[in-house]
Structure 1
Amino acid sequence: MHNSWIYLNGKLILGNEASISPYDHGFLYGHGLFETMRVYKGRVFYFAEHVKRLHAGMKILEWPSCPSADELSKAIYQTLQKNDLQEATVRLTISRGMGASRPDPGTCGSPTVIVFAAPIQPLDDDAYERGWSLATVNIRRNLTSPLCAVKAANYLDNIVAKSEAKDKGANEALLLNTMDQVAEGTMCNLFLVVEGRLITPDKKSGLLPGITRNIVLELAQQAEITTEERQVSPEELLGASEIFITSSLLEIMAVTTLDGRKVNQGRKGKMTAFLRRQYQKHIQEWLSIISV
């Protein structure tokens, strides 16, 4: 991967030859944003929605300027074409740029823009049948912070949470918020099924609203499944008939174990399977429209 071509501030260069300034505030302070996107048949899935979230984050952070959607699209597709990638993941990172060696973004110049991509290695069907395990961790989401809605380059909370989950033998962490309500995973949103209703923590719960989360809600509503966005307690999770998580790369993954307890007898549930099929169908429909 380090020998692949990456985009750095307007140029395509080999990854192992790339460098940024040690005074870049993304490096010094984690002052940056990123988006991870899935590429199907050479097309970036829901690119506009990813960029919209990115620009919203820049507005929250009060950046004076930001690359346009057209500029970012060009950078991403140049990178994909240079690496001859059709099925891939692409990571777009934008830092505040180079500035003084103190946390004053007013000293920064133009943002640093980096794009790299890699062939996707999707999990096999058996992995989706087995599902993932979640472990509740000690890290909390601060539901009062506006930064919950920002996909920030500073990922320390997520790294610590993921490490704790791994130490507990789980695939992913379950983070609660500062009111001890369910928030999200380190890289995913969470859904549960209770008495045929599809429930997910609302945006006030301290989560980053995912692109896939929004798609799943729309697909469920189209299928006339009752959906609820609201606060969710850890106790409610214990009584759920199904749990699943969503992300751009995982798509929809069943949760079959939570804190060592089996969910749905350790099997993927019917609604999870149905929504995964609908999601796969939606991808193909999207591709047929976008390629016209």
Structure 2
Amino acid sequence: MSDISQMAYLNGQYLPLSEARISPMDRGFLFGDGIYEVIPSYGGRLVGMRAHMQRMRNGLDAIGIRVTIEDQEMQEIATRLLQASGNGNLGVYFHISRGADLTRMHGFPEQITPTIFAFAFAIPEAGTGHPDSAKCVNVVTCEDMRWRRCHIKSTSLLGNVLHFQHGREQGQDETILYNQHGHITEASACNVFAVLDNRIVTPALDNQLLPGITRQLVISILRDFDVPVVEDTVTRQQLREADEVWLTSSSKEIRPVVSIDGQPIGSGKPGRYWHKAMTLYAQHKFDY
């Protein structure tokens, strides 16, 4: 495979990533004023491209960024970056900020051109559902201290970064967040599923959590194969007592959680529901 760091797309041009330059007056740099997406791919095949593009459009609309680039062109950019990187296990990162202005002010400037940036990077190989291939994770829990529009995939990720670092500093892989009522929202970089009394449950979508594309695909695939999934409240206590807990994201797919706050979940190993979900996801993720 060629060096995946070699090519980037920036405002209509393909160039070496090391040569990509964005103005320090760009509002993405100054304010985190932008939207991003990460689309996974395996062997050159993108997963959930249409859903990722729709979520990006929704985010751009929500914060009032207007772009003229069409989804087909985004697909072509992704394809070219993947081909240049060897079409392996890759994620394509798209980042659209409001653009650069000569004046730093909080209000939206008029008549500036959005900055569009993309590059490809390595992600873990695809899962199979076999227990021996499971990438198990250990997590801690923490009160969710982020802003109240977490359904927008904003580039303003400091809150998520601090929560992730909280887990890392305790030697854990992730941090699962709960609100002031003790209800689970999501993890710092993943959505959360739990198996409670033989029911697969994931927190319902609202402004407290991101509408994850892998979350969406997992729900759709399981339901299409007659495996019920409930979108409902999950409390912190229920999570700790769950038979299984999973984390989902575009680059991690479905990861079984084997301990929370130092206590094992279920048997402390990937469970049978995870095996079923991961097997179905591996077989059908390109179909949606």
- Given the two structures, how large is their TM-score scaled by the length of structure 2? 0.91
Aligned residue in 2 for 1:32: 34
Deviations 1:175-227 (A, max 9, x none): 11243310001111100001211100001361101111111112221232332
**8 Å Cα contact 1:205-1:231 kept in structure 2:** no
Q: 1:41 aligns with which of 43, 46, 53?
A: 43
1:108 deviates by 5.6
Structure in which a larger fraction of residues adopt helix: 1
- Local SS of the residue matching 2:134: helix
1:2 deviates by 8.1
Partner Cα separation in structure 1 for residue 74 and residue 122 of structure 2: 20
Q: 2:116 aligns with which of 113, 118, 121?
A: 113
Q: Percent identity?
A: 28
5 Å matches for 1:1-292? 3-99=5-101, 100-107=103-110, 109-122=112-125, 128-129=133-134, 131-142=136-147, 145=148, 147-204=149-206, 206-283=208-285, 286=287
| Structure 2, unaligned runs of 5 or more | none
| Structure 1, unaligned runs of 5 or more | none
Q: Which amino acid aligns with 2:139?
A: L
Q: Which amino acid aligns with 2:279?
A: R
User: Relative CO higher for 1 or 2, CA cutoff 8 Å, sep ≥ 6?
Assistant: 2
Partner Cα separation in structure 2 for residue 198 and residue 27 of structure 1: 40
**8 Å Cα contact 1:26-1:153 kept in structure 2:** yes
- Local SS of the residue matching 1:281: helix
Alignment root-mean-square deviation, CA: 2.1
Runs of 4+ in 1 over 6 A off after TM superposition: 123-127
1:129 deviates by 3.4
Q: Which amino acid aligns with 1:111?
A: P
Deviations 1:85-132 (A, max 9, x none): 343111111111112211222246111111100233438878853610
**8 Å Cα contact 1:79-1:117 kept in structure 2:** yes
- Local SS of the residue matching 2:267: helix
Q: Which amino acid aligns with 1:131?
A: C
Partner Cα separation in structure 2 for residue 137 and residue 95 of structure 1: 30
**8 Å Cα contact 2:191-2:247 kept in structure 1:** yes
1:153 deviates by 0.6
1:66 deviates by 4.6
Question: What is the count of residue pairs matched by the alignment?
Answer: 283
